[in-house]
Structure 1
Amino acid sequence: MLRFAPSPTGDMHTGNLRAAVFNYILAKQRNEKFLLRIEDTDTARNIEGKDKDIMFLLNLFGITWDNLVYQSHNFPRHRQLAEYLIQKGDAFYCYCTKEFLDQKRELAKANHQAFRYDDDWAELEKDKNPHPVVRLRAPKEQMGFHDAIKGDITFAPSEIDSFIILKEDGIPTYNFACAVDDMLYDIDFIVRGEDHVSNTPKQILIHQCLNYDKTMQFAHLPIILNEEGKKMSKRDNASSVQWLLDCGFLPQAIVNYLVLMGNKTPCEVFTLKECMEWFDITKIAKAPARFDIDKLKFLNREHFKRLNEQDLAVLLGYKDSAIGALAKLYLQEASTLNEIREKVDLIFAKKGLLLAQYKESAKTENAEILEFESQVKTLQDTLLTMLNQDCSKTEFDTFKSNAMQNSGLKGKAFFKPLRFLLTGLAHGPELSDLFPILRLYLKDIVRN
């Protein structure tokens, strides 16, 4: 079984989503079940409702799960197994206070030494601290594992000291709860970020002490860099999945990019279902991958092209499939749902209001602006008169010729206000390309 184990302590990041996507693909490829495990052991930082947000986003990206568990429901089992390890002698109570450990850290720092916990400290402050933690004894031998992406990784005994598995309040630490739950739910392949590499030997040690000998596979995904080449952080907008969605990136394009990033793929544009046929976790590059927003925009346009016109119209907030066809004409210059929606909405906006905004943005009413305003009003009156007739089947050349003749406007004095009245913009796709669709809505478009 594979699992995705998010924490309900904040918004989902692109790195989290990438791990979810890879685990889901592998589960499908291996014909195994997929577990969603909400890791809610950090009770102080849990945010109410974040678990529901996680589930909503996963469904939005086409990721479904066979089982759902909350880690906190297994607290009694975690404590039972911790007690078992104490009885075995593999774990022990530690009464060190925070102040005591802080002093030891400062001393190590002053001596230019790495801080290492010493098992001999365990009961030095037993009289001062009635709430001990439980620590698992450090390994005496080298620990190691094979990573499907990074290859063989080893840790010397000196790199792992006796670590906490139960906190003073009886709540398990991340490593203990994670290792126990992976064992309880028969997880056999773990795909997660490379920030967990140092946790892996600790979790393997927990399994060994619990006499759990099932072989697990691991794959630790390289970090994602921002556009400046630095480790992506919460300060980077693109690190937030919700920000990408709010900007108008399609879920299928985001998934496409997360699979493509730092990967060798047989094609560039694909869906989640399509990539299940060829995805290979071992082909993910070891080096960090840089998040390229321009590449994501390109993929977003490609997935817009794949959408049928009715679905695209609905995404834009319209009912008619013709609006979807109209929107696709703007893919030359727009790459997100927001950008396309803005252009389509301007087509149907009140042109008198747009003209007022245009004048206001210019600050001063110079002769050129006043002349343009006059040309727009003249042409608008002309078009409104023409629209008393049925223009739904009129060809653009005929429409243009009649409008030019009836308004008395020519050249730039005609085409600039015509584009403004038909699209609300000064530039865009060829009017001859837009008109076959625009003519169906002319009475709504050319209005005060």
Structure 2
Amino acid sequence: MAKVVTRFAPSPTGHLHIGGARTAIFSWLLARHHGGEFVLRIEDTDRERSEQQYTDAILASMEWLGLSWDAEPVYQSQRDDLYNKYIDQLLAEGKAYYCDCTAEEVEAMREEARALGKKPKYNGKCREMGLKKADGRVVRFKAPLTGRTVWKDLVKGSIAFDNEELDDMIIRRSDGSPTYNLAVVVDDHSQEISHVLRGDDHVNNTPKQIMVYEALGWEVPQFGHVPMILGSDRKKLSKRHGAKSVMEYEKMGLLPQALVNYLVRLGWSYGDQEIFALDELIEKFSTDNLSSSAAGFDPDKLLWLNAQYMKETPDAELAALVAPFAKEAGFEVSAEELTAMVPLVKDRAKDLIGLVDAMRFMLLADSEYEFEEKAVAKALTEEGKEHLANLREQFAALEAFTKDTTHEVMGNYVSDNGLKFKAVGPPLRVALVGAMGGPNLPDVMEIIGKERTLARIDRALEQ
């Protein structure tokens, strides 16, 4: 196979959403699988709606997802001279022409076609008039009037359009700016793009672009159109389905690897496997396994997958990821402390914000964590407090305060007094955690230390 070069070409008119992110991931994986190149193009020809803040946000989102690109990004707004060079070539070769029909006239042509039951389009009035360049005139592409434009789509199989149904599309506006379908062909050719993976909302653009390729004598890349992502109700995905921009998922505390894994599985499969390391995705990815039917977005499944990734992430790495969220929640805590706390609770959280919440009882000062009323009523009875006071005395006497020594104290106390663990575990847990649930108590005590353990027991005895 010749060198594989793919591209992602977002418009900076908003943040990167998951539909665009998934397309970028597919294109990135295809290039990386074949040892090729993945390039980035910013399609900022919509001058009114394109903003630098969105370009910056898209690039930041791509970096967060781990989708590195090769070479500097190309900006369409800086390439008008290149586009116009090829428009002028098409004019000189008689493959394009000037048109001075007004928007109202063109709409009237479309209405007339509709009335006759035909495809509504420009009727070619100026096609053979030989008009010259003049203010207010556009340039139209001279599309073939007969035959079919056919390609073998990487996702959908063979697709064909009757040429007589296609317009003589505008390739240069009256203000001199090129249109999308011309610019994208020039860009893909100049960037040597071999494969174009994009959403199937672009299917109708593809025959127009193939015609331009052929008119300029260029090799046509392979096209693949992936179905849109739908909501759980099988309707077009929107915010009401829980769909957010990539940056919002980052702020929610999702791991980028989990989001990449989830989005890849929306429209691609490898047997029944659900969880893939990035290296695995690169190794196994193929357009042969892309689905031609739309996938439904499931926020709960995404959170489940994120929870699996959190469990498998090394503690120090997870501590580094959760540190900004702990700081945002108002906690100043060292990397070492977080690394110690994370393994106690990481199987109890689905995202990094949830992980901070699960650690909150350890992060809060000993005078600030809250007691659940029901837990206090159930566990901190007179009998419970008596056991708690006795345990406090024995904990205070320990020279080495570790999970092993505190575990031994608790075990000996239970056996020496003919008790069951449920007589002493709940009051101690409420004292340390403020609730009936939580991680292993000796682990908690080792992390918060002797002084804080005794202070928490003292506070519980006052309840």
TM-score range, shorter chain: 0.7 to 0.9
User: 1:439 aligned to 2:446?
Assistant: yes
- Structure 1 counterpart of 2:213: 207
- Structure 2 counterpart of 1:365: none
Output the CA distance in 2 between the equivalents of 1:258 and 1:229. Answer: 17
Output the CA distance in 1 between the equivalents of 2:280 and 2:67. Answer: 14
**In the TM superposition, what is the alpha-carbon distance from 1:228 to its structure 2 partner?**
1.9
**In the TM superposition, what is the alpha-carbon distance from 1:172 to its structure 2 partner?**
1.6
Q: 1:304 to 1:332 in 2, by over 3 A?
A: closer
Output the CA distance in 1 between the equivalents of 2:240 and 2:103. Answer: 31
User: 1:230 aligned to 2:239?
Assistant: no
Letter in 2 for 1:43: R
- Structure 1 counterpart of 2:290: 284
Output the CA distance in 2 between the equivalents of 1:404 and 1:49. Answer: 66
- Give the match's secondary structure for 1:339: helix
Q: 1:25 to 1:401 in 2, by over 3 A?
A: same
Q: 1:134 to 1:354 in 2, by over 3 A?
A: same
User: 1:422 aligned to 2:422?
Assistant: no
Superposed CA deviations along residues 303-362 of structure 1, whole A, max 9, x for unmatched, are 122211111122222545674464344454422121122111233324654438x67xxx
Output aligned runs, 1:175-186, within 5 Å: 175-186=181-192
Gaps of 5+ in 1: 360-367
**In the TM superposition, what is the alpha-carbon distance from 1:183 to its structure 2 partner?**
0.9
Letter in 1 for 2:250: L
- Structure 2 counterpart of 1:362: none
Q: 1:201 to 1:111 in 2, by over 3 A?
A: closer
Greater mean deviation of Cα atoms: 292-301 or 42-51: 292-301
Letter in 1 for 2:199: G
Letter in 2 for 1:237: G
Letter in 1 for 2:88: E
Output the CA distance in 2 between the equivalents of 1:139 and 1:204. Answer: 12
- Structure 1 counterpart of 2:123: 118
Output the CA distance in 2 between the equivalents of 1:370 and 1:268. Answer: 42
Q: 1:138 to 1:239 in 2, by over 3 A?
A: farther
- Give the match's secondary structure for 1:165: strand
Greater mean deviation of Cα atoms: 106-115 or 40-49: 106-115
User: 1:85 aligned to 2:90?
Assistant: yes
Q: Given the alignment, which residue of 318, 328, 334 partners 2:349?
A: 334
- Structure 2 counterpart of 1:392: 402
Output the CA distance in 2 between the equivalents of 1:434 and 1:284. Answer: 48
Q: 1:102 to 1:436 in 2, by over 3 A?
A: same
Superposed CA deviations along residues 417-439 of structure 1, whole A, max 9, x for unmatched, are 533332344434xx5x3532442
**In the TM superposition, what is the alpha-carbon distance from 1:109 to its structure 2 partner?**
6.2
CA contact (8 A) 2:200 2:227 kept: yes
**In the TM superposition, what is the alpha-carbon distance from 1:101 to its structure 2 partner?**
3.8
Greater mean deviation of Cα atoms: 410-419 or 276-285: 410-419
Q: 1:192 to 1:311 in 2, by over 3 A?
A: same
- Structure 1 counterpart of 2:248: 243
Q: 1:375 to 1:40 in 2, by over 3 A?
A: farther
- Structure 2 counterpart of 1:219: 224
User: 1:133 aligned to 2:138?
Assistant: yes
Q: 1:273 to 1:378 in 2, by over 3 A?
A: same
CA contact (8 A) 1:379 1:418 kept: no
- Structure 2 counterpart of 1:364: none
- Structure 2 counterpart of 1:9: 13
Q: 1:6 to 1:206 in 2, by over 3 A?
A: same
- Give the match's secondary structure for 1:190: strand
Output the CA distance in 2 between the equivalents of 1:380 and 1:20. Answer: 60
Greater mean deviation of Cα atoms: 94-103 or 239-248: 94-103
Q: 1:387 to 1:117 in 2, by over 3 A?
A: farther
Output the CA distance in 2 between the equivalents of 1:51 and 1:218. Answer: 25
**In the TM superposition, what is the alpha-carbon distance from 1:147 to its structure 2 partner?**
0.7
Output the CA distance in 2 between the equivalents of 1:328 and 1:426. Answer: 19
Output the CA distance in 2 between the equivalents of 1:121 and 1:21. Answer: 43
CA contact (8 A) 1:142 1:154 kept: yes
User: 1:29 aligned to 2:33?
Assistant: yes
Q: 1:405 to 1:315 in 2, by over 3 A?
A: farther
Q: 1:184 to 1:229 in 2, by over 3 A?
A: same
Greater mean deviation of Cα atoms: 174-183 or 415-424: 415-424
- Give the match's secondary structure for 1:145: strand
Output the CA distance in 2 between the equivalents of 1:375 and 1:348. Answer: 27
- Give the match's secondary structure for 1:35: strand
Letter in 1 for 2:26: F
- Structure 2 counterpart of 1:309: 315
Greater mean deviation of Cα atoms: 392-401 or 50-59: 392-401
**In the TM superposition, what is the alpha-carbon distance from 1:265 to its structure 2 partner?**
1.1
Output the CA distance in 2 between the equivalents of 1:420 and 1:102. Answer: 74
Q: Given the alignment, which residue of 47, 52, 62 partners 1:48?
A: 52
Q: Given the alignment, which residue of 239, 262, 272 partners 1:257?
A: 262
- Structure 1 counterpart of 2:327: none
**In the TM superposition, what is the alpha-carbon distance from 1:385 to its structure 2 partner?**
6.8
Q: Normalising by structure 2, report the TM-score.
A: 0.81
Greater mean deviation of Cα atoms: 94-103 or 105-114: 105-114
Greater mean deviation of Cα atoms: 387-396 or 146-155: 387-396
- Give the match's secondary structure for 1:220: strand
User: 1:156 aligned to 2:166?
Assistant: no
The number of aligned residues is: 430
Q: 1:34 to 1:370 in 2, by over 3 A?
A: closer
CA contact (8 A) 2:44 2:77 kept: yes
Output the CA distance in 2 between the equivalents of 1:143 and 1:220. Answer: 16
Output the CA distance in 2 between the equivalents of 1:144 and 1:176. Answer: 19
Output the CA distance in 2 between the equivalents of 1:83 and 1:294. Answer: 53
**In the TM superposition, what is the alpha-carbon distance from 1:170 to its structure 2 partner?**
1.8
Q: 1:78 to 1:414 in 2, by over 3 A?
A: same
> Kindly, what percent of the aligned residue pairs are identical?
34
Q: 1:277 to 1:103 in 2, by over 3 A?
A: same
Gaps of 5+ in 2: 324-332
- Give the match's secondary structure for 2:243: helix
Output the CA distance in 2 between the equivalents of 1:147 and 1:319. Answer: 53
Output the CA distance in 1 between the equivalents of 2:165 and 2:158. Answer: 16
Q: 1:84 to 1:424 in 2, by over 3 A?
A: farther
